[in-house]
A and B are shown apart, each in its own frame.
Chain A
Amino acid sequence: AQSVTQLDSHVSVSEGTPVLLRCNYSSSYSPSLFWYVQHPNKGLQLLLKYTSAATLVKGINGFEAEFKKSETSFHLTKPSAHMSDAAEYFCVVGMDSSYKLIFGSGTRLLVRP
């Protein structure tokens, strides 16, 4: 069975400092992994996805994530936080080829001025 665990429910950073949102996954085979962002009362926007190509995946808005098989992790990072980055972030694992997605519990990112 596939699952995904987001280790922090809330992360608070100051504007201009690095962001780290942690995600661990469990999968019986090579997974498809995604990070989505959700602003209040909005749908989801895809930040980036890993599909067994390069282990370091670059996404939109300066975000990137590194797939580490040995650690079963797919942490999301950004060198410098911006106020507009404040939102809910979901780490997601894709199930087989059906495009069914399993969502993590989410991490709320707060950015302090």
Chain B
Amino acid sequence: GAVVSQHPSWVICKSGTSVKIECRSLDFQATTMFWYRQFPKQSLMLMATSNEGSKATYEQGVEKDKFLINHASLTLSTLTVTSAHPEDSSFYICSARGPSYNSPLHFGNGTRLTVT
């Protein structure tokens, strides 16, 4: 079946550094990908919608200059957390949908980011 791969599965970085998270659709082309953030024991919050070949659409309250999203190909979207701070520590999950109207959503296994 369709698989979405996220890399890395976990990452630890120091404050002030940037971290890039990759989301790949392995066996289908994903015109749209979504990035979610999940705090411990809380639900998923949609951060942004990533469309191949165009700028991402950010949800209200999400800093686009801090969370840079690039969707340069039909199989890859990246989320870069710039100048990370401890409050950015969270579980980040991506999801991807295929090109047709009825294409289902597939979720990655998430990336645990810890900023020290």
Give me the interface of A with B, judged by CB distance under 8 Å: 36, 41-46, 90, 97-106
- A88, chain B: closest CB distance, angstroms: 9
| Contact (Cβ within 8 A) A99 B112 | no
Please indicate the chain B residues that have their CB under 8 angstroms from the CB of A103 in the complex.
36, 43-45
Total contacts A to B, CB within 8 angstroms?
A: 47
Give me the interface of B with A, judged by CB distance under 8 Å: 4, 6, 32, 34, 36, 42-46, 49, 91, 93, 95, 97, 101, 104-105, 107-110, 112
Interchain residue pairs with CB less than 8 A apart (22): A41-B112, A42-B109, A42-B110, A43-B107, A43-B110, A44-B107, A45-B107, A46-B105, A97-B101, A98-B49, A99-B32, A99-B34, A99-B105, A100-B46, A100-B49, A101-B44, A101-B105, A102-B46, A103-B36, A103-B44, A104-B43, A105-B42
Please indicate the chain A residues that have their CB under 8 angstroms from the CB of B107 in the complex.
36, 43-45
Please indicate the chain A residues that have their CB under 8 angstroms from the CB of B110 in the complex.
41-43
